[in-house]
């Protein structure tokens, strides 16, 4: 059973005719985009924006209408994946390097629906190294400042080259082990010059659709 696909396809039910939709990034969001593409072929009429070049390409290939950001003032719903989800529906995102565009799109969405398999559910965030997007200028100084927050840092690479985001920046994966106070950490990281954003999404998810191994779908709502 493909749990990611089950969660993603379930979430696509929330999309209705006429909606403005944000398309997430990653191997779970992929299935949501595929299903949206099928529904568009069946007659669903939506306007969409994508959180990465990869998702945009996928959407265009499927015939999903991608609209320039400037032509939309807000979105009705965004469906996206996550690397970790806790019981407050706080998230770590950015495993695929798309966290900045994802956070911008989430901010302008009336509803953010996260899709994931049950392995993503955690008690405490932080087992998954927190992705932080940084500008290339003076990157060693930014890395040092991140390390002073008590984490191990790893500059992300892709086939032995530095990984470059869709925005021309680098990603540092910060291993905190356990993040007890996510909001505090989020703000401390944002306080470092050179940091563009980080993968902590606090109080942003409205619904989390989790597919369990037995095929049962659980929908968690923000309290």
**Rule CB under 6 A: which residues touch ligand R5P?**
24-29, 80-83, 93-99, 102
Given 102, 133, 188, 218, which residue is catalytic?
102
Q: Is 80 annotated as a binding residue?
A: yes
Closest distance between ligand R5P and the C-beta of residue 45, in Å? 26
Closest distance between ligand R5P and the C-beta of residue 162, in Å? 16
Residue 131 contacts residue 97 (beta carbons within 8 Å): yes
Residue 106 contacts residue 94 (beta carbons within 8 Å): no
Among residues 95 and 129, whose Cβ is nearest to ligand R5P? 95
Q: Is 94 annotated as a binding residue?
A: yes
Q: Is 197 annotated as a binding residue?
A: no
- What's the burial of 213, exposed, middle or buried (CB within 10 Å: 0-12/13-18/19+)? exposed
Q: Is 96 annotated as a binding residue?
A: yes
Closest distance between ligand R5P and the C-beta of residue 120, in Å? 7
Residue 76 contacts residue 20 (beta carbons within 8 Å): yes
Closest distance between ligand R5P and the C-beta of residue 163, in Å? 11
Would residue 159 show up in a list of annotated catalytic residues for this protein? no
Closest distance between ligand R5P and the C-beta of residue 165, in Å? 9
Residue 209 token pair = 């659709």
Among residues 41 and 201, whose Cβ is nearest to ligand R5P? 201
Among residues 99 and 192, whose Cβ is nearest to ligand R5P? 99
Q: Is 120 annotated as a binding residue?
A: yes
Among residues 76 and 84, whose Cβ is nearest to ligand R5P? 84
Residue partners of 61: CB distance under 8 A and separation at least 6: 37
Q: Is 78 annotated as a binding residue?
A: no
Which stretch of DSSP H or E encloses residue 6?
helix 3-11
Instruction: Work out whether strand 170-175 and strand 161-162 pair parallel, antiparallel, or are unpaired.
Output: unpaired
Give dist(CA 194, CA 142) in Å, integer: 6
Give dist(CA 90, CA 83) in Å, integer: 11
Which residues are registered as beta bridge partners of 153?
A: 174
Among residues 76 and 173, whose Cβ is nearest to ligand R5P? 173
Strand order through the sheet with 170-175: 152-155, 170-175, 130-134, 195-198
Binding site as annotated, residues for substrate: 25-28, 80-83, 93-96, 120
Residues acting as catalytic residues: 102
Binding site as annotated, residues: 25-28, 80-83, 93-96, 120
């Amino acid at each position: 059973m493909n749990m990611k696909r089950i969660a993603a396809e379930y979430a696509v039910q929330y999309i209705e005719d006429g909606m403005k939709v944000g398309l997430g990034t990653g191997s779970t969001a992929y299935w949501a985009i595929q299903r949206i593409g099928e529904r568009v072929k069946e007659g669903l009429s939506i306007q969409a924006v994508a959180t990465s070049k990869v998702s945009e390409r996928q959407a265009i290939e499927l015939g999903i209408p991608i609209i320039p950001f400037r032509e939309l003032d807000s979105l009705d719903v965004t469906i996206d994946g996550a690397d970790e989800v806790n019981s407050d529906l706080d998230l770590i995102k950015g495993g695929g390097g798309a966290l900045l565009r994802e956070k911008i799109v989430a901010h302008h969405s009336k509803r953010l629906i996260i899709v994931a398999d049950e392995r993503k559910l955690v008690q405490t965030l932080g087992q998954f190294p927190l992705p932080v997007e940084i500008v290339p200028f003076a990157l060693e100084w930014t890395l040092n400042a991140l390390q002073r927050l008590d984490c191990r840092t790893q500059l992300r690479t892709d086939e032995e080259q530095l990984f470059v985001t869709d925005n021309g920046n680098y990603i540092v994966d910060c291993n905190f082990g356990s993040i007890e106070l996510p909001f505090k950490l989020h703000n401390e990281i944002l306080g470092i010059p050179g940091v563009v954003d980080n993968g902590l999404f606090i109080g942003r998810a409205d619904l989390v659709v989790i597919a369990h191994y037995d095929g049962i779908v659980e929908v968690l709502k923000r309290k």
